[in-house]
């Protein structure tokens, strides 16, 4: 459905990500850095941070089940970090939110390994680009508490979590018998690397001499497609080792079409090319069925994840050396490569593989129960173009996965998938399978119905995994609290921040929405611009973004650029990509007139009071128009001419403008103008700033609260000012940094303290504060009163508190609150004290707050009403040190509940 994930690489250049580079090292080994601990104590305890729910939205190239502990599952994303599966909540917990601005590239994950000897240990190989889009080197992160905290070892080379070939793997592997030994396959000619101290230090395996020479496109001068894929997977044969002794036989996949598979039989001391192997293809995956002595290999003629026109599947007998082509279809009939390889550990001989690059009409998944001798397909033709599916797609939990499409057969919606390079059968449950696509994780818990010819259901298994790249945000004064512009999936109108919207923007459906705006005094009027092959690339709404219609566009438009709506919605100014230049239109884009006095490619915004005043900026010069965008005049100069540049006008104050931008090797900071851009004054103390947004004024204040992603006082973070920029307070903390947050930011004009923060791969984050006037639970404030903030319930209550999972330093708990009175509740807020310093982490189905040892959990909108005799449940993760006793008492509305 979408093929544009690789275009997000451009953010590294266009969005000014070159700030804060990680120094490269030239040493042949990699050692821990002095700042290895990544998680620190929060410094903004009044704020809680959550994702605006979209569920998915990006490519999931890797899913890893731990083979020693049931339900311990991890997922890696190409730009959005690592997640751990939460079985109780059927959701994912993000694990790399502590990645800071200076190491933003570490949100790209190219390899993931879960330790079977010590399941508390997990490892991630991180780094987003191997070319100069990412100035920093890669690293290996290691955790002894399932990703709650991490330590980092910097590498002397780059890694490419968002590069071609990122769906191959896994490149990172832990020895299943001697877990202090790990291997890492490196790109760019850097070869195979090994650690013998649980990932703390790394050195190159000098006896492994083939670093891999395959390049997607050797002629690509950007370095993106011309980089060498390198070593692409490592697989241990667990049958050749015993506990505490290094596994003797190891297989390694190499990005070399003539020499794709190597083996060591002496625990990695020496290596040989596996004799008799097929040539002419890349081995995307190598999965070993030790019970039957079979190494399965999925081959493609390209590195993926987008391309691949031919492929094969082979089986290697580890005892005899026999190779057998077990391809599900003849090579002549393939139009895709193979990847997504998995075996059923409960039923040796059952193997599955995906045709990952079968874009049209759909991806294909193949299954064999006889070690690849025969295969069945997830779907087939009865008579073209009619399809018979073995499965039913149920996307009711994430309805936008249908894309609002109505395709002609044989294409269907929702699709089975695309870019399906991650495909895994649960090693403890033959019925459960998960697979990644370009937009979500799908799965089933009825997989064995496949073998009986019974239809089984596939559903999204993606709750909590938020992977969108956010390009623009708007929070109007009425209507929906949030309207977003996103890469790859266009954007959404959120009427409830805690609910997945039914559909992204359609009519038209942009591949990426690059800019959006609403009319300040008429918020039902909304405009957006974006990218779409062939256009149209501008769209309008007259109902606050609920429905859209396309506008016309001038000649020369190649992309969305930026767009602005007049304060009253009477006209629009558009600065698209391409040669068209800046244009203005009255009405809804039926006829555009070229603006004068402003260069093509300028960023445009509107004054929030005067409908005829618009502003523009490019290359250090600020422009203004007082005739509705027909003509612009240069006003201020001396602003940053290099790097990021974003500015906004303050609602309700004509000519009041804030400007953020710059680059580390040039002018960089935050500026303020009160005369329509004729003059700007630099905000003192703000060393760097990349975004600026406005929210509801603090109690007693008249000027809107300001929000920025900036460096102030030597500290990078998200900051708020309630006194027009005279002073700033950091409102995020070191555990909530989300890598790069320089795309967009806005406060909420209706909820004091609420702020929406853009990320590049972790979706939309929003923060609420416990300060006076703070958050209301996430729903549209124009709706009826929210049941998350009710009068305190009265009557009896009972609480069941259960620790469902515990590991060193961390735990997971479920709480059930029962209304034992005779009166229904309209909402609830449960409180307790922790006796041993425990701290709440992420909570689901309730909103947490913690001050010292005191914790409260308040209902979310949908589970506030609790009938007499009924219950409400929620869960959370937390941290502990020393002991983790259960709270002795719980209170509701000042009354003590009984404890089950």
Sheet holding 29-30, edge to edge: 29-30, 202-204, 192-195, 182-185, 172-174
Q: Which of 77, 177, 55, 66 is nearest to 122 (CA)?
A: 66
SS3 561: strand
Distance CA 301, CA 246 (A): 34
CA angle 441, 515, 767 (to 5 degrees): 60
SS3 14: helix
Distance CA 524, CA 480 (A): 10
For residue 320, what is the DSSP state? T
Strands 151-154 and 109-114: unpaired
Q: Which of 631, 692, 640 is nearest to 665 (CA)?
A: 640
Q: Which tokens is 435 given?
A: 């697979």
Is 451 annotated in the active site? no
SS3 48: strand
Say how many CA atoms lie within 13 Å of 243 toward its Cβ: 3
SS3 401: helix
Cis amide linkage into residue 385, ω under 30° from 0: yes
Which residue among the candidates 488, 496, 733, 768 is catalytic per the annotation? Answer: 488
Lookup result for tokens 């590195």: 303
Q: Which of 887, 860, 848, 760 is nearest to 42 (CA)?
A: 848
Which residue among the candidates 78, 115, 344, 690 is catalytic per the annotation? Answer: 78
Distance CA 665, CA 687 (A): 12
Q: Which tokens is 220 given?
A: 């690509």
What burial class does residue 40 get, using C-beta atoms within 10 Å of its C-beta: 0-12 exposed, 13-18 middle, 19+ buried?
A: exposed
Q: Do residues 641 and 620 touch, judged by C-beta distance below 8 A? A: yes
For residue 450, what is the DSSP state? H
CA angle 131, 137, 138 (to 5 degrees): 105
What burial class does residue 319 get, using C-beta atoms within 10 Å of its C-beta: 0-12 exposed, 13-18 middle, 19+ buried?
A: exposed
Q: Do residues 627 and 618 touch, judged by C-beta distance below 8 A? A: no
Q: Which tokens is 644 given?
A: 């990021």
Distance CA 529, CA 536 (A): 9
Q: Which of 107, 104, 142, 138 is nearest to 124 (CA)?
A: 142
Q: Which of 736, 738, 726, 731 is nearest to 752 (CA)?
A: 731
Is 568 annotated in the active site? no
Measured distance between the N- and C-terminal CA atoms of the chain, rounded to whole angstroms: 50
Q: Which tokens is 579 given?
A: 């040669």
Cis amide linkage into residue 536, ω under 30° from 0: yes
What are the backbone dihedrals phi and psi of residue 13, each rounded to the nearest 5 degrees, phi first? -100, -50
Distance CA 739, CA 104 (A): 4
Q: Do residues 809 and 879 touch, judged by C-beta distance below 8 A? A: yes
Give Cβ neighbours of residue 332 (< 8 Å, ≥ 6 apart). Answer: none
Residue positions annotated with a catalytic role: 78, 488
């Amino acid at each position: 459905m979408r093929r544009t994930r690789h275009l997000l690489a451009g953010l590294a250049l266009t969005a000014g990500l070159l700030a804060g580079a990680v120094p490269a090292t030239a040493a042949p080994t990699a050692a821990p850095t002095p700042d290895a601990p990544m998680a620190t104590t929060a410094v903004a305890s009044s704020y809680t941070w959550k994702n605006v729910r979209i569920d998915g939205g990006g490519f999931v190239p890797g899913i890893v089940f731990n083979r020693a502990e049931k339900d311990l599952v991890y997922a890696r994303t190409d730009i959005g970090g690592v997640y751990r599966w939460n079985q109780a909540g059927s959701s994912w917990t993000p694990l790399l939110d502590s990645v800071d601005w200076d190491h933003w590239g570490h949100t790209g994950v190219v390899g993931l390994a879960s330790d079977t000897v010590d399941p508390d240990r997990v490892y991630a190989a991180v780094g987003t680009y191997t070319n100069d889009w990412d100035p920093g080197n890669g690293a290996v992160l290691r955790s002894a508490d399932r990703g709650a905290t991490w330590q980092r070892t910097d590498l002397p080379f780059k890694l490419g979590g968002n590069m071609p070939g990122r769906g191959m793997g896994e490149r990172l592997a832990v020895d299943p018998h001697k877990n202090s030994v790990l291997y890492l396959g490196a790109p760019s000619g850097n070869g195979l690397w090994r650690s013998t101290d649980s990932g703390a230090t790394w050195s190159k395996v000098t006896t492994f001499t083939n670093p891999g020479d395959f390049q997607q496109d050797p002629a690509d001068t950007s370095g993106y497609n011309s980089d060498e894929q390198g070593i692409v997977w490592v697989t241990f044969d667990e049958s050749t080792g015993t506990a505490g002794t290094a596994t003797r036989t190891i297989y390694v996949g190499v990005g070399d079409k003539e020499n794709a598979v190597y083996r060591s039989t002496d625990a990695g001391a020496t290596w040989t090319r596996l004799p008799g192997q097929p040539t002419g293809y890349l081995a995307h995956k190598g999965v070993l069925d030790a019970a039957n002595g079979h190494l399965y290999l999925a081959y493609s003629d390209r590195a993926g994840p987008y391309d691949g026109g031919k492929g094969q599947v082979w089986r290697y007998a580890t005892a005899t050396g026999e190779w057998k082509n077990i391809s599900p279809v003849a090579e002549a009939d393939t139009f895709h490569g193979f990847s997504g390889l998995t075996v059923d550990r409960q039923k040796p001989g059952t193997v599955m593989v995906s045709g990952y690059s079968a874009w049209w009409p759909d991806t294909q998944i193949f299954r064999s129960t006889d070690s690849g001798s025969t295969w069945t397909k997830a779907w087939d033709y009865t008579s073209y173009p009619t399809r018979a599916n073995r499965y039913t797609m149920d996307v009711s939990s994430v309805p936008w996965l249908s894309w609002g499409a109505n395709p002609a057969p044989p294409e269907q919606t929702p699709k089975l998938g695309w870019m399906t390079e991650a495909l895994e059968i649960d090693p403890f449950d033959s019925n459960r399978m998960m697979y990644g696509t370009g937009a979500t994780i799908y799965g089933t818990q009825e997989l064995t119905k496949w073998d009986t010819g019974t239809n089984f259901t596939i559903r999204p298994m993606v709750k909590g995994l938020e992977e969108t790249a956010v390009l623009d945000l708007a929070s109007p004064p009425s209507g929906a609290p949030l309207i977003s512009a996103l890469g790859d999936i266009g954007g959404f109108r959120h009427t409830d921040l805690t609910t997945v919207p039914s559909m992204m923007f359609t009519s038209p459906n942009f591949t990426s929405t690059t800019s959006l705006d609403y009319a300040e005094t008429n918020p039902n009027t909304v405009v957006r611009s974006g990218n779409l092959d062939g256009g149209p690339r501008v769209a309008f709404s007259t109902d606050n973004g609920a429905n859209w219609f396309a506008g016309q566009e001038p000649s020369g438009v190649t992309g969305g650029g930026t767009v602005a709506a007049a304060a009253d919605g009477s006209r629009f100014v558009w600065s698209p990509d391409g040669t068209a230049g800046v244009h203005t239109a009255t009405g809804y884009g039926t006829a555009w007139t070229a603006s004068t006095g402003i260069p093509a490619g300028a960023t445009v915004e509107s004054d929030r009071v005067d409908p005829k005043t618009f502003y523009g900026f490019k290359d250090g010069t600020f422009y203004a128009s007082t005739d509705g965008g027909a003509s612009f005049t240069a006003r201020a100069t001396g602003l940053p001419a290099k790097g990021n540049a974003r500015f906004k006008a303050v609602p309700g104050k004509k000519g009041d403008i804030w400007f953020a931008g710059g680059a580390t090797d040039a002018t960089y900071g935050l500026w303020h103008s009160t005369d329509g851009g004729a003059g700007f004054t630099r905000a003192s103390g703000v060393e760097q700033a990349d975004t600026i947004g406005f929210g509801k004024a603090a109690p007693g204040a008249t000027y809107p609260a300001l929000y920025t992603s900036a460096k102030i006082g030597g500290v990078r973070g998200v900051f708020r000012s309630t006194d027009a920029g005279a002073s700033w307070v950091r409102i995020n903390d070191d555990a909530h940094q989300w890598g790069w947050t320089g795309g967009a930011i806005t406060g909420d004009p209706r909820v004091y303290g609420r702020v929406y923060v853009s990320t590049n791969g972790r979706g939309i984050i929003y923060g609420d504060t416990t300060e006076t006037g703070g958050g209301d639970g996430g729903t549209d404030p124009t709706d009826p009163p929210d049941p998350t903030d009710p009068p305190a319930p009265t009557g009896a209550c009972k609480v069941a508190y259960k620790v469902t999972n515990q590991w060193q330093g961390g735990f997971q708990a479920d709480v059930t609150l029962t209304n034992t009175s005779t009166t229904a509740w309209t909402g609830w807020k449960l409180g307790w004290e922790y006796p041993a310093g425990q701290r709440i982490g992420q909570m689901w189905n309730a909103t947490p707050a913690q001050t010292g040892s005191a914790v409260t959990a308040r209902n979310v909108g949908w589970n506030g009403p609790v009938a007499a005799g009924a219950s409400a449940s929620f869960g959370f993760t937390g941290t502990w040190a020393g002991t983790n006793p259960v709270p002795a008492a719980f209170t509701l509305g000042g009354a003590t509940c009984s404890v089950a």
